[in-house]
Structure 1
Amino acid sequence: MADLQGPSQTITLKVMRLARPKFAPFTSLCVDPEDDVGRIIQQTVQRKTIDEGSQWPIGDFILAPQQFENIYLGETFTFYVSCINEGNDQVDEVTVKVDLQTNSQKQPLPCKLDGLKLVAGESQGQVVSHEVKELGQHILVCSVTYKTSSGSSQYFRKFFKFPVTKPIDVRTKFYNAEDNLSNDVFLEAQIENTSGGMMMLERVVLEPSDFYDSQAITPSPSAVQLRPKDVRQFLFCLTPKNHGISSPKEVTNIGKLDMQWRTAMGERGRLQTSPLQRIAPGYGDTRLSVERVPATVRVRQTFEVMLRVHNCCDRSLDLMLSFDTVRQPGIVYCCTSGKSLGQIPPNTSIDFGLELLPVTLGFQSLSGIRIHDVFNKRTHEYDDIAQVFVN
């Protein structure tokens, strides 16, 4: 943290970040203890390790932090604030106020260093913790007021700057299940470790909005290990609830992703995305789905397919069925064009069958289906809605 010093004061303010130690790097050195050259190499390495304070381990496996590590969004930033009386006389009414300034707000942090009396050489401090919830540059503003032995009031401030970066990157994709009546929505979440160290992803949960129920398609294990730049994918299915919504497809608010992780040394972090929004599928007034179609058929032998037309609007539709034979030369319709499908109330559907005759070998697409809205005189065209193999 950058400390912007003020003028000389009787009270000295110290702010130190508290962080867990890190694993010490271990390098295996193979030497022969009976070889004179090997012993010299081993002694030199041991002496160099002791002389370099940055490599002196706490115990056998961990090192004390040697520099100000990155602070990531979702972590708990913990620091120690200490006031030291470096003068020769007692000071009274020592009060410390701590604020955290971000790009969007200034937030006071809890600090109980209030109304202290410090004799010469005495110090008092407090540990302050704050969950970081915003990216970008942060400024820790520490204001100190006190009275000297002569009764004069003194005041100074110190500023500590530090950046906050993203530990993970989340990319989402939506898939609309348009071939069923449930209006299910599938969410794919790709989570990448963008930090500089290992993390254990302990929780990835989709908290749906009030309009949906959520189920994980690929439930994650209790913990997923992510090295830097590693990516993991998670898939969720959202099913609309019955809240009296006339058209569930119009609901675009899906919910939020809640993620929780731990670093290699057990430091916890947690992030929640902003509300996820999907683009509602544009069905128009009608939607046609294939309910049953054979995979293979025999040439010049009739077969049947079952179709379902959905009324996706809020008014009744009077529909008529016709065919465009030019769009489908390999299959002949063996049913009457211009057939009425009748009245279809809002948000309901009707099933109907078609008898077809394949006349060309190979893969053939089912195309040329036209549904006319008699009242509005509008035609809905459906091509390539299914394929069959003719042999």
Structure 2
Amino acid sequence: MKMSSTQGPHSLAFRVMRLCRPSLHVEIPVRFDPSDLLFGEDLFDDPVAASHLPRLLADTVSATAADGSTTSADPSDLSYRNRFLLQHPSDSLGLPGLLLLPQSFGAIYLGETFCSYISINNSSNFEVRDVTIKAEIQTERQRILLLDTSKSPVESIRAGGRYDFIVEHDVKELGAHTLVCTALYNDNDGERKYLPQYFKFMVANPLSVRTKVRVVKETTILEASIENHTKSNLYMDQVDFEPAQNWNATILRGVDHHPESKQPMSDVFKPPILLRSGGGIHNFLYQLKLSSDGSPLPKVEGSNVLGKLQITWRTNLGEPGRLQTQQILGSPIAQKDIELRAVEVPSIIMLEKPFMVRLNLANQTDRVLGPFEVWVSQSDSLDEKAIMVNGLLTMHLAQVEAFSSSEFELNLIAVKHGVQKITGITVFDTREKKTYDSLLELEVFVDSQ
């Protein structure tokens, strides 16, 4: 953290310490043999002493074993091949059981809560009075006030004393941040003095989210790849996709995932997903479908907002973090002037018996369309045609107002049994001389009994 210099002598000074959880203090184990502490290298140069060395080493080993530890070292072996053997399983951990307090300001990431302990110290030999303290965060776009004692100033800070407080801020912007601490106080001679101090820090991005959108028939598949850019492991508590209006989202899991219906407590005891430090990646897959509530899609040409991801995580010692992505866009939607959909189709269709299909013709423009003519295309030969019109080949429809719809019925007859398709319904705007075809394709089952 960098601190700006202040002009002129001041009785007060700010000290800032970031509050964060400690980390595990890991020591690299240094292996040595106890005999290294008892005998020097010159002992090997004396032939008389060297002859007694195996017996002395045996005494050292036996004394060590008497304390309860075990060893497999041969006392007559004077080489170094046994010096680095682990005598106890805990020797390999290198953990002395200590926690290490932060020695520097450390890295601050987007989505975390910045928490700082601020102390204003009186280093003079006299008391200062009526101290007004302010603390705020400045970014490139805004200023956020964290503390203001203007309405209730600190009455006095004695000589050698201090006033402490804690501020918190949810980090929501990347880049340079400045913690501005100011104090307005009365000095010993009654002069009103102003002390500003500036503490700068950078905010980095802890995660990168890459998305890929694929469309399979009427289903949109969204793949989200989340990568860890921090120097510590991240445990993903929640990665949820919030679909936009008109969309429904379902997460797709692997085949080895047990159905949630068999795990009533799965949401409570769901294990977090580990993203290892320095580049750990996990992929999430979502299936998106347009909702069938009949509400129209947004009328903005080419827009296709799918939704956004909500991501929460914790670090090794439980520090929380939360991010929300920007809106994820799918393939542009080609705006259609009219839309044709089936409203009512008989559940049972018998071979060579007429049936009615109720259809809805929707005008998705801001102008009046029509009148229309509707017919079923007869491009296929009679031998290949499975469902035909029963009655008038052409139906006339009235005009349809802007953003309105009109319903009508088609009288059809099936000439082949099994699963068949109703296709070829064509709508012709008689005023604009415009033909709309391939608007609808339905699959029905025709029973021969």
Q: TM-score range by the shorter chain?
A: 0.5 to 0.7
Kindly indicate whether residue 208 of structure 2 is the aligned counterpart of residue 169 of structure 1: yes
Out of 81, 86, 89, the residue aligned to residue 123 of structure 2 is 86
- Residues 345-360 of structure 1: matches in 2 within 5 Å? 346=405
Superposed counterparts of 1:173-192, under 5 Å: 173=212, 179=218, 186=220, 188=222, 190-192=224-226
Match of 2:322 in 1: 270
Segment drifting more, 307-316 vs 62-71: 307-316
Q: Does 1:218 align with 2:252?
A: yes
Are the aligned partners of 1:286 and 1:309 in contact in 2 as well (CA < 8 Å)?
no
Quick check: 1:320–1:371 contact (8 Å CA) kept in 2?
Answer: yes
**Separation in 2, partners of 1:171, 1:349:** 46
| Alpha-carbon distance in structure 2 between the residues aligned to 1:187 and 1:194 | 23
Return 5+ residue gaps in structure 2 as ranges: 35-72, 86-93, 254-266, 343-356, 443-449
Provide the C-alpha distance between the structure 1 equivalents of 2:407 and 2:113, rounded to a whole number of angstroms: 52
How far residue 29 of structure 1 moved from its aligned partner, in angstroms, is 5.8
Return the alpha-carbon distance in structure 2 between the equivalents of residues 262 and 347 of structure 1: 54
Q: 1:94 to 1:353 in 2, by over 3 A?
A: farther
2:369 matches 1:313: no
Instruction: Spell out, residue by residue over 1:271-324, the C-alpha distance to the aligned partner (whole angstroms, 9 max, x if none).
Output: 2234555544544534699xxxxxxxxxxxxxxxxx998745356743233366
1:206 pairs with 2:205: no
State the alpha-carbon separation in 2 of the partners of residues 173 and 347 from structure 1. 38
Task: State the alpha-carbon separation in 1 of the partners of residues 29 and 337 from structure 2.
Answer: 68
Residue from 427, 435, 438 that aligns with 1:379: 435
1:99 partnered with 2:108 = no
Deviations, residues 225-244 of structure 1 (Å, cap 9, x unaligned): 112341321415455374x7
Say if 1:263 and 1:192 are closer, same or farther in 2 by CA, change over 3 A.
Answer: same
Mapped partners of 1:347, 1:24: distance in 2: 73
**Structure 2 CA distance for partners of 1:97 and 1:382, relative to 1, 3 Å:** same
State which drifts further: 15-24 or 258-267: 15-24
Residue number in structure 2 paired with 1:51: none
- Distance verdict in 2 for CA 1:102–1:241, change over 3 Å: farther
Change (3 A) 1:162 1:27: same
1:222–1:250 distance in 2 versus 1, CA, 3 Å: farther
Aligned CA distance change for structure 1 residues 374 and 256 (closer, same or farther; 3 Å):
closer
User: 333-342 or 166-175, which moves further after superposition?
Assistant: 333-342
1:126 Cα deviation from its structure 2 partner: 1.0
CA distance in 2: counterparts of 1:190 and 1:128, whole angstroms: 35
Asked if 1:159 is matched to 2:198, the reply is yes
Q: 1:13 to 1:341 in 2, by over 3 A?
A: same
CA shift digits 1:346-369 (9 cap, x unpaired): 37687878889xxxxxxxxx9x96
Residue by residue, what CA displacement relative to the aligned partner does 1:206-259 show, whole Å, maximum 9, x if unpaired?
Answer: 3455x45745333795421112341321415455374x73x2465855554322
Work out whether 1:127 is the aligned partner of 2:177. Answer: no
Task: Tell me, in whole angstroms, the C-alpha distance in 1 between the residues paired with 2:297 and 2:132.
Answer: 57
Alignment of 1:322 with 2:377, yes or no, is: yes
* Letter of the structure 2 residue corresponding to residue 167 of structure 1: P
Higher strand share: 1
- Structure 1: give runs of 5+ residues left out of the alignment: 43-55, 180-184, 290-306, 357-365, 387-391
Distance 2:309 2:273 in 1: 16
The total of aligned residue pairs comes to 339
Larger Rg over CA atoms:
2
Contact 1:321 1:341 in 2 (8 A): no
CA distance in 2, matches of 1:13, 1:169: 36
Structure 1 residues 64-83: aligned runs within 5 Å: 64-83=101-120
Aligned CA distance change for structure 1 residues 77 and 5 (closer, same or farther; 3 Å): same
266, 278, 282: which one aligns with 1:231: 282
Greater Cα shift, 106-115 or 258-267: 106-115
- Aligned to 1:140, the other structure's residue is in SS state strand
Distance 1:336-1:68 versus aligned 2 partners, 3 A rule = same
Partner residue of 1:110? 147
- CA-based RMSD of the aligned residues comes to 4.7
Tell me how far 1:262 sits from its aligned partner: 0.5
Question: Counterparts in 2 of 1:15-30, with a 5 A limit?
Answer: 15-25=16-26, 27=28
CA distance in structure 2 between the aligned counterparts of 1:274 and 1:63, rounded to whole angstroms = 37
TM-score (norm 2): 0.60
